[in-house]
């Protein structure tokens, strides 16, 4: 049962990369000046930024505490339009809220002209594929949605790079993003700067503007891109990366994440 659920979510995470729906993790507060309080975190799949459309199962939602430990939220609720997690901020520092399953392998193929997919990497696929499968491609896919919340003094532990999959490194702490200031972000794939990562930066309120005012970016040869938030408010950074890789487990990699954050008043 648990496996079936995870597979379902993994499939949704994967599918969300293909469809217009975007998974977002949006805390009620990004900054707190008191320990021992709670925040509510909205998790939803949406078309317009921060406009909740579909609640998501939160089996794969975790909280990384300032000391680096990974825990489950105090309570979760899955609604039709959005899901919610209650998160306790017992100690000072920076917390990471993340929905995701880590890297998964999908093998897609054609059988008599029909596209099919199974969950297997390159080593496992031979045993599972039908004899007459054609156009077999195994993709390493990962999609996650995250946000950082800081109580009092910002800390670094939950920002540490794992050197695995698509990751990011800001030139400042996420709690220090201020409207009007330039921010440089480095995107990394398996710990190395990744060129050609596609990024979209959007902000809340699209429903009430004629122009969504989304900004598209692409990382340069050193894996970097620069943005500045035009006004204070809540933003969503969406990143996606696709490449052919010569690995034992996959032919292609397709990874992405969404990061919600706030740009503070100057």
Residues interacting with another protein, by CB under 8 A?
Answer: 31-34, 37, 150, 152-154, 175-176, 178, 264-266
Quote the least distance from Cβ 31 to another protein, whole Å.
Answer: 5
Rank residues 36 and 191 by Cβ distance to another protein and give the closer one. Answer: 36
Cβ-based nearer residue to another protein, 35 or 163: 35
The least distance separating another protein from the CB of residue 65, rounded to whole angstroms, comes to 18
**Least distance (Å) from another protein to the CB of residue 91?**
14
Q: How many residues does the chain have?
A: 266
Query: How near is the Cβ of 224 to another protein at its closest, in Å?
Result: 24
Instruction: Give the residue with the Cβ less far from another protein, 176 or 213.
Output: 176
Closest by Cα among 172, 171, 151, 169 to 160: 169
Supply the minimum distance, in Å, between the C-beta of residue 150 and another protein. Answer: 7
CB 31 within 8 A of CB 190: no
CA 248 vs. chain centroid, Å, equals 25
SS3 131: coil
Sign of CA dihedral 39, 240, 107, 112: positive
Q: DSSP string of 191-247?
A: TEE-TT-EEEEEES-GGG-SS---EEEE--TTSEEEEE-SSSEEEEEEEEEEEE---
Q: Which is nearer to another protein, 106 or 261 (CB)?
A: 261
CB closer to another protein, 34 vs 209: 34
């Amino acid at each position: 049962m648990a496996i079936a659920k995870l597979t379902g979510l993994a499939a949704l995470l994967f599918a969300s990369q293909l469809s217009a729906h975007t998974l977002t993790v949006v805390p009620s507060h990004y900054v707190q000046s008191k320990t021992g309080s709670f925040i509510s975190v909205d998790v939803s799949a949406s078309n317009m930024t921060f406009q909740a459309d579909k609640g998501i199962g939160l089996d794969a939602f975790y909280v990384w505490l300032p000391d680096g430990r990974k825990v489950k939220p105090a309570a979760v609720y899955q609604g039709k339009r959005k899901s919610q997690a209650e998160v306790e901020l017992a100690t000072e520092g920076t917390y990471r809220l993340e929905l995701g399953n880590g890297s998964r392998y999908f093998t897609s193929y054609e059988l008599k002209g029909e596209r099919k997919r199974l969950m297997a990497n390159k080593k496992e696929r031979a045993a599972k594929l039908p004899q007459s499968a054609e156009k077999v491609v195994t993709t390493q896919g990962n999609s996650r949605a995250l946000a950082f919340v800081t109580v009092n003094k910002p800390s670094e532990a939950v920002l540490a790079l794992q050197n695995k999959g698509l990751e990011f490194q800001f030139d400042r702490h996420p709690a220090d993003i201020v409207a009007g200031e330039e921010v440089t972000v480095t995107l990394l794939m398996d710990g190395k700067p990744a060129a050609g990562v596609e990024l979209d930066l959007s902000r809340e309120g699209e429903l009430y503007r004629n122009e969504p005012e989304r900004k598209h970016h692409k990382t340069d040869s050193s894996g970097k891109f620069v943005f500045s938030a035009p006004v204070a408010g809540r933003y969503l950074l969406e990143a996606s990366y696709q490449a052919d890789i010569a690995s034992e487990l996959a032919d292609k990699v397709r990874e992405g994440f969404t990061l919600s954050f706030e740009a503070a008043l100057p």
